[in-house]
Amino acid sequence: MNKKYLYRRATVFSLLLIALAYLMADISVHAATAKVATTAPTFDCLNAPSVSSFVPGDTMITSQNGVNCFAWQVFMGLNWPAQANTPGQPDTSAMASQFGNPGNARDQALGVWETYANADSVFLPNAAIPGPFGTHATPWGNGPIPASCANDGQVYRVMTSSRKASIAAKNGESFNLSPETAQAFPSNNPNWLADKQGQLVYYEILFSQDQYNFIVGNTLYDANGQADMIKAHNNIAMPLGYGAKPGDKTQLGGLELKAAWLEVNEPEQGNWKTDFKLSSASIYDESTNTCSTKTLALVGLHIIHKTASQPQWVWATFEHKLNAPDTADIDSLNNPDTYTFYSKSCSTNAVPATCSAKTVNGVATTKTSCEVNTSPAYFLDKAKGCDPYPIQVSRDFKIKDTTDNKIASINTSAHELIKQANSNSVFANYILVNTLWSSAAINDNSPPGKPPLTPLSISGETPTISEVPVANTTLETYAQGFNCLSCHAHASVASEAKPQLNDKSYATDYSFIFGLAQSSSCYWMQNSKGYPWVQAPQGALTKQQCYSLNSCGEGGNMSGGGCYKWASGPNQQAQPWNIN
């Protein structure tokens, strides 16, 4: 081989090495730049959240900043895209870069929590047996589907107009519906909410599979089942969550959510698709027996979680950052008038004469109000022209850092974290208002075997009401000076269960959903020949009325002889049961 060839080959090899060195140097510079750009934000806690599908069952750090970070991790995990056809499970193929992808209601992914059990589908009329976990009930039950609702398979939610909160009763009186259909408000006055365009907010309650299994497994969707459980000296105590980090053996335990959804009139306009979590819903109007498909925007979300370290539950509440201004900023330059529930151009109007007006100190309200956080002037009644109007809302207690609670800084870090994963994520527009927990938790359901009466313990409530009440502008608009725990400590069994329990208020583990339970239909049993349970023909009596009318003793199985009695009503004479 000649020297010229060897020299040429050596020269080419040297040039390749030089080029490779420059290339490696360039890659190194870009890698360093990328590393700087993607450095995770710092959090004022030792359990920093991650944009992932992980939902912890407990917090590893019991401090204010620790539970704030725990709340953010739960929020991210529950809003992770859900697995198709498997309620309550995350889509493990989804990536962090997809978290909170914007788009219209049909394009945005359902979050894990949206596939949880809905209270409407578990606490059914006449205590009917609920369907499988994740089943969503329809307002018309087993009846025929209204023609305009036939396409409900195209939308995930079916909301009813009664879910608007307080509705006027036919006799001119008023009533408040269940906690699922109304805000927390300490009176019988109207408590619906509408934005500055007069669009209504709807509410729904959902809960985890662990909580669903506990309720259904113990027949607690039936008021009679609640009474039976207490009489058997068993506590209504939901399971504890455990497992604080990925890789731990994890159980979610009792986990409830209450969501506030705003009806959006023109979702293609403005920033709805880019800045809000959206969902489709079919709004069912009972007065006309019709449905209309609407877009809903998530404006508020309570997440409460019972854990091994927090048997008094962790109470976290999130809301959209554009909901309302701080009360202190209403008249300042800090109020740009871009909020959903506040307008500088508010005007008052007379209450229509056909409407059932709010009363204050016995005097009926005659005008709507532009004062912030003032409950509506009248009950809704579409048939009488009592339609919703804009409600002025502001936040009474500013979200700010304190010595022990770096809530504002943690929110900023969480937003940075989300934007690093997906710069367009709608969830970077939601804020953690605060997290309520206990620094000295007491488990009133331990030891078991002695069901407690209300109120349950609020020991160690942190932060205290005197420090800062924990309130959401869309879920406690008219009661921002209260704390969740102080109210929920009084949650008790359903009203139809209490006559069987000497009218005592037995506690239901800080959850009001048990108050939604109705009683199952009346049943009798023919003992001597071993006939199965048979439903009473009218199916309208309570279990207690069954016992007193059919003379069969407790549940029809203590008389020792045959039980051949039935009754057509609570005041009717018992008759022989025809078993042929």
Cα distance between residue 419 and residue 427, in whole Å: 9
Which residue in 406, 267, 318 sits closest to 79, CA to CA? 318
Judge contact between 251 and 57, C-beta under 8 A. yes
pLDDT for the residue 209: 98
pLDDT for the residue 157: 79
DSSP string, 258-269: EEEEEEES-TTS
Cα distance between residue 291 and residue 384, in whole Å: 20
For the chain, the structural domain boundaries read 66-499+506-513, 523-576
From the DSSP assignment, how many helices (H) and strands (E) are in the chain?
9, 17
Successive 10-residue mean pLDDT values, the chain, 580 residues: 44 41 38 50 96 98 97 99 96 98 96 95 87 81 69 67 37 33 61 94 95 97 92 97 97 97 95 97 78 93 98 98 95 82 96 94 95 94 91 97 97 98 99 98 93 97 93 93 90 93 96 90 46 46 50 40 41 42
pLDDT for the residue 331: 84
> pTM, whole model, 2 decimals?
0.83
**Residue 107, both tokens:** 């394009």
Judge contact between 121 and 131, C-beta under 8 A. yes
Write the burial class of residue 503 (CB in 10 Å: 0-12 exposed, 13-18 middle, 19+ buried): exposed
pLDDT for the residue 41: 96
pLDDT for the residue 183: 59
Task: Look up residue 418 and give its amino acid.
Answer: I
The DSSP call for residue 374 is P
Spell out the residues 6+ positions from residue 29 whose beta carbon is closer than 8 angstroms to its own. Answer: none
**Residue 197, both tokens:** 């365009």
DSSP string, 145-211: PPGGGTTGGGSSEEEEGGGGS-EE-TTS-EE---GGGS---SSSS----B-TT-PBEEEEEEE-HHH
pLDDT for the residue 27: 36
Spell out the residues 6+ positions from residue 220 whose beta carbon is closer than 8 angstroms to its own. Answer: 214, 226, 229, 236, 514, 517
